[in-house]
Structure 1
Amino acid sequence: MSTANKRAGTLFLKLDGELQEAKGEFTYNLGLPKREAIVGADGVHGYKETPQVPFIEGAITDRAGLELKTLQTMDGVTVTLELAHGKTIVLREAWYAGEGTVKSGESEIPVRFEGQTAEEMS
């Protein structure tokens, strides 16, 4: 069965190669500079670039073997997000940047990892 037209759906989140139980929708940013227009009284003068932090953000399911403190103190990890259409996002030298709040109704932990660099791999 071909999946040539598949664009979304199943995804996988790994922290230093360890598969996590990912939930719902994830967002990511490669950390490329953000461009913003410079406008004067006489019109557009050009743009400026400001740095952005590369990140991967979403939610995982809490489980018996997962220690919240260990998750919250992660630093220097490689985070990979494998998407349904075959693209993988790799965030390197990453740290946990979330609050550490757990929602008991669905055993959900919102997670955010920020890092030094990110790249898109096909």
Structure 2
Amino acid sequence: MSESNRRIGGIGAAFVDGLAFDLRADPMWKVSTRTRTTVAGMDRIHGYSETISPGFISFTLSDRDNITVGDFENMTNSSVSLELASGKRVSGTGMWTVESQEVNATEGTFSVRFEGEDVRET
């Protein structure tokens, strides 16, 4: 068995609109799905309702002098992807940033979260 088939964590890369960024830590994602909520009546369970649940891709990057937090806060309709040690690729299209990015100057890091309706694992 090759080493890459046994590796499950560690090395990774982050890309936004085709540009590589310095991935520091905490790559996370959720694929786009539907959320079901049970509908309970007074006499029995009546069924469920279903709503669309957006996917997300988030990560912590190293702060560099060639990028600004404002660059990320203005991102909409972006393509975002992660390449993970396991060989898995997570990608989303038409994504936008949510939440304000805060820089940790002591560590030289900031976290960013993108959400969208099309996040997939391959």
What TM-score do you get using the length of structure 2 for normalisation? 0.88
- Change in Cα spacing, 1:38 to 1:12, as seen in structure 2 (3 Å) is same
Offset at 1:32? 0.5
Q: Which moved more, 1:9-18 or 1:35-44?
A: 35-44
Deviations 1:58-80 (A, max 9, x none): 21110111122112101111000
Counterpart residue identity of residue 21, structure 1: D
- CA distance in 2 between partners of 1:50 and 1:73 (Å): 27
Of Structure 1 and Structure 2, the greater strand share is in 2
Residue deviations 1:33-86, cap 9 Å, x none? 012222234443332211111111121110111122112101111000111111
CA contact (8 A) 1:98 1:110 kept: no
Q: Which residue of 2 aligns with 1:56?
A: 57
Change (3 A) 1:42 1:13: same
RMSD between aligned residues: 1.6
How many angstroms does 1:95 deviate by?
Answer: 1.3
- Contact 2:32–2:56 under 8 Å retained in 1: yes
Q: Report how far residue 111 of structure 1 moved.
A: 0.3
1:119 to partner: Cα distance? 1.5
Q: Secondary structure at the match of 1:3?
A: helix
Measured in 2, the distance between the counterparts of 1:85 and 1:113 equals 22
**Alignment-derived partner of residue 89 in structure 2:** 88
Structure 1 runs of 4+ aligned residues shifted over 6 Å read: none
Q: How does 1:1-122 map to 2 (within 5 A)?
A: 2-121=3-122
Residue ranges of structure 1 left out of the alignment (5+ in a row): none
Calculate percent identity across the aligned residue pairs.
26
| Aligned residue-pair number | 121
